[in-house]
Structure 1
Amino acid sequence: MTDIDLNQILTFVKVVDSGSFTKAAEQLKQPKSRISRRLAALEKALGTQLIYRTTRQMQLTETGKDYYQRCAPLIQDLENANNAMTSHSVELSGVLRLTAPEDYAKMILAPLLEEFLKKHPKIKIELVLSGAYLDLVKESIDVAIRIGTLKDASMKSKRLSSISSIVVASPGFLEKNPAITKPEHLEQVPCLNFNVGQKNRWRLVKDKQDIRIKANGSVEANSPELLYHFALYGRGASLIPEFLCRDALQSGKLVHILKGWTSGAIPVHLLTPAQKDIPAKTKAFMEFASARL
């Protein structure tokens, strides 16, 4: 190992990754002649040829393939370590574009972003509030918060937590309608429906019980926050994310009915476009959000 310079291994990995000596020289900001000399010195120190080279193309030898598979992860780990140190020592700046469902952004994400901006005052936040699964690359979005089952396996993802919805209604509504002590009783009273995916069918789970309820009412919406307000008006019972109802439950404006029954755990993920090098500002936010959520 005393005859091998780490830069020689780095050069070899970059040549393989880029597919040519010229591109590797551009990435490393080195003359092409130095790239060739480093690779030759590495092969001499190892006592074996790693790459077949002709005037038109290059190809890994069997030994070269094995050496690359062993070295590439090590180089990536070193680069990640260096990037992490740089992100800690250099003040972060620039625009961070995020997308999240509107209700989640208002109740959960807003205070988190306020804390993040105090820590990194030179960061500018751009929020795209939408429950739709936007194309992160096309929309130039750095981080997405997605609630529910992930649909795109090509994205890098990290599970943050899970949320669940509970059945709530206003005290006035409960006084005017039959008592709701079993999930089946919901079919006999007006309900407020989230019209994305549910199709007026509510899934309720408790312990090992898992049932479907047909819920009918005068209001349907694709916004849980809007259904929350109609529940406050006494328009019907609704299955709403628990984080939206917390304050109203504490104040008595809403009542938690059918306690123990929920929609089941719904996962919350952070997503970023699949890329080899994640910008420092994006990485910093993901670490920050992961620690708190």
Structure 2
Amino acid sequence: MMIDNVLDLTIFARVAGAGSLTDAANELGLSLAVVSKRLAALEERMGVRLLNRTTRRQSLTQEGSRFHQHCVRILSEVQQAETDMQRSRNAVTGLLRITAPRMFGCRYLSVLAAEFQAMHPELRIELNLGDDFIDLVDAGMDVALRFGALNDSTMTARHVAPSQRVLCASPDYLRRHGVPQTPEDLSAHQCIVYGARTTRHWLFQHEGQPISAEIGATFLCNDGNAGQALAVAGAGIFFKSLWDVGSELANGSLVRVLEQYSAPTDPLHVVYPHALHLAPRVRHFADFAIARLRDEWQKLVPL
């Protein structure tokens, strides 16, 4: 029968080391009756005598001596495992797996990951960048940066900042094609549409009223980076998150159009499973990322 209780091994090892059941019971804070009963049950399960006992002395049998060596090793490993887990409760170590949208990840997460790892040299980081939705648990991810509404109640989602979408184009494009004055004008312009699902309409709000504007989708691509490169090259008007086009707006390679029309926001969240007993690497990275990204958003807002 398999031994299923570390306490039995502890009792036997302590009895062997102390030299008597009474001394072992005192050291363990147990009654002599309990120690004696557990030891007898252990010998019964093992099917061998582990101790020779008389009224005056006790000694290990040959089998008991071999078993004692195993017990010492096993209990040492158990103690090492507990020490390692206690250290893990406070140390930022191990492998941190993070997922984020591809464009956002390239622009922001890569920098955050490098800075965070430099702060915690024992940490390894794996980045999984892509625009397809993945289940964090199934994919083995520790934390995600996600935009939009979150419907999974099993996840912890911490709000970071809004994600306002803006219309923009290169100065060269606007010189050649003119500046649209209303959303309706977009149907006569070259527009750049990206993503897995193409669309012929962009949605706005003006004075609290929703507006669906038909667009002239001249360029279709499945990647946001490619769409943004087209916009900078003067190919057309682009509709993208301020997170993604902020640098281009700041350096003038893109300029905003139709600023008086707002777009629906998709707030940015840091998402992770299992808030209870959260690993320090996840908790500390979430705190770090939220603080840094909120600072970044404040830099973008005036744009």
- TM-score bracket, shorter-length normalisation: 0.5 to 0.7
1:131 and 2:131 are equivalent in the alignment: yes
| Structure with larger Rg | 2
Q: Deviations over 1:51-79 (max 9, x none)?
A: xxxxxxxxxxxxxxxxxxxxxxxxxxxxx
Quote the Cα distance in structure 1 between the aligned partners of 2:160 and 2:212.
Answer: 27
1:131 shift after superposition: 1.4
SS of the counterpart of 1:96? strand
Quote the Cα distance in structure 2 between the aligned partners of 1:262 and 1:118.
Answer: 39
SS of the counterpart of 2:270? strand
* Contact map agreement 1:193 1:216 (CA 8 A) in 2: no
* Contact map agreement 1:191 1:215 (CA 8 A) in 2: yes
Equivalent position of 1:286 in the other structure: 286
Identity percentage over the alignment?
A: 27
Map residues 1-293 of structure 1 onto 2, 5 A cutoff.
90-196=90-196, 199-274=199-274, 276-293=276-293
Q: Aligned partner of 2:119: which letter? A: K
1:124 shift after superposition: 0.8
**Normalising by structure 2, what TM-score?**
0.64
Please list every run of 5 or more consecutive structure 1 residues that lacks an aligned counterpart in the other structure: 1-24, 32-84
Quote the Cα distance in structure 1 between the aligned partners of 2:100 and 2:223.
Answer: 13
Quote the Cα distance in structure 2 between the aligned partners of 1:248 and 1:188.
Answer: 24
1:111 shift after superposition: 2.2
Q: Aligned partner of 2:112: which letter? A: L
Q: Aligned partner of 1:269: which letter? A: H
SS of the counterpart of 1:168? strand
Moved over 4 A (4+): 85-88
SS of the counterpart of 2:160? strand
1:110 shift after superposition: 2.1
Equivalent position of 2:17 in the other structure: none
1:213 shift after superposition: 1.0
Quote the Cα distance in structure 1 between the aligned partners of 2:139 and 2:257.
Answer: 41
Alignment size in residue pairs: 214
Change in CA separation of 1:216 and 1:195 when aligned onto 2, cut-off 3 Å:
farther
SS of the counterpart of 2:105? helix
Q: Aligned partner of 1:119: which letter? A: M
Q: Aligned partner of 1:290: which letter? A: I
Please list every run of 5 or more consecutive structure 2 residues that lacks an aligned counterpart in the other structure: 9-85, 294-303
SS of the counterpart of 2:260? coil
SS of the counterpart of 1:153? coil
**Normalising by structure 1, what TM-score?**
0.66
* Contact map agreement 1:102 1:130 (CA 8 A) in 2: yes
Equivalent position of 2:13 in the other structure: none
* Contact map agreement 1:227 1:240 (CA 8 A) in 2: no
Quote the Cα distance in structure 2 between the aligned partners of 1:112 and 1:91.
Answer: 19
Quote the Cα distance in structure 2 between the aligned partners of 1:86 and 1:202.
Answer: 52
Quote the Cα distance in structure 1 between the aligned partners of 2:228 and 2:262.
Answer: 16
Quote the Cα distance in structure 2 between the aligned partners of 1:246 and 1:105.
Answer: 14
